[in-house]
Amino acid sequence: MTEFYYPVVGEALNFEGLFSMKEVFRVVDKYFRTKGFDKKIIFDEEYNTEKGKYIHVKAEYYKKTDAYVRLQVRLWIYANDLIEVEKEVEGVKVKTNHGKFNIIFDGQLQTGYITDNFNDTKPLYFFWRVIYEQYIARPRIAYWENVIRHVITELKTEVAGYLNINKLMYER
């Protein structure tokens, strides 16, 4: 039986101004690649509206730490009223995007995702599993919950740093 723990739910980062969607995705992918996470795109859509493009992406990054613990980070990325703008930076014309950007972070810890370890159909095995989760493995689970919190805080800082650099670079 798989147990889920949710140390981070609905943490958001909002931005409005000049940024490049390609670069935002590159920053996120590069961060997770350096941490050893795998990527799965669950949902993506892009369409044009009267005010500009609308982009919505739901991505999941996961890492199997061992046979018992799996870390998952879900991102909901929204970009509204996205228009392409051409700016001049130090005499060079650069194409970038202008619009509203929102990213929502969810972090979860999945334990016992390999179901061959315990046969939960019998009451004794179920009881042993609950005792193991609540008392024996609790420090280990708390450690991995803190790792997820740290990963999401670091990622949020990376993306916010990129967006703030763009703000300083293009909006002089």
Split into its structural domains, the chain has a count of 1
- In this prediction, residue 167 carries a pLDDT of 67
Under 8 Å between Cβ of 149 and 7: yes
Residue 61's DSSP bridge partners are 39, 73
**Residue by residue, what is the 3-state secondary structure of the chain?**
CCEEEEEEEEEEEEEEEEECHHHHHHHHHHHHHHHCCEEEEEEEEEEECCCCEEEEEEEEEEEECCCCEEEEEEEEEEEEEEEEEEEEECCEEEEEEEEEEEEEEEEEEEECCCCCCCCCCCHHHHHHHHHHHHHHCHHHHHHHHHHHHHHHHHHHHHHHHHHHHHHHHHCC
- In this prediction, residue 112 carries a pLDDT of 76
Q: Whole-angstrom Cα distance, residue 95 to residue 87?
A: 6
- In this prediction, residue 137 carries a pLDDT of 80
- In this prediction, residue 125 carries a pLDDT of 76
- In this prediction, residue 157 carries a pLDDT of 93
pTM: 0.84
Q: Which domain holds residue 152?
A: 3-170
- In this prediction, residue 114 carries a pLDDT of 62
- Strand ranges across the sheet with 53-64: 3-19, 92-111, 69-89, 53-64, 38-48
Q: What is the chain's pLDDT, residue by residue, as a tens digit (172 residues)?
A: 678 899 999 999 999 988 889 999 999 999 999 999 999 999 999 999 999 999 999 999 999 988 788 999 999 999 999 999 888 777 888 888 899 999 999 999 998 766 555 556 778 777 877 788 778 888 888 999 999 999 999 999 999 998 887 666 666 5
- In this prediction, residue 67 carries a pLDDT of 79
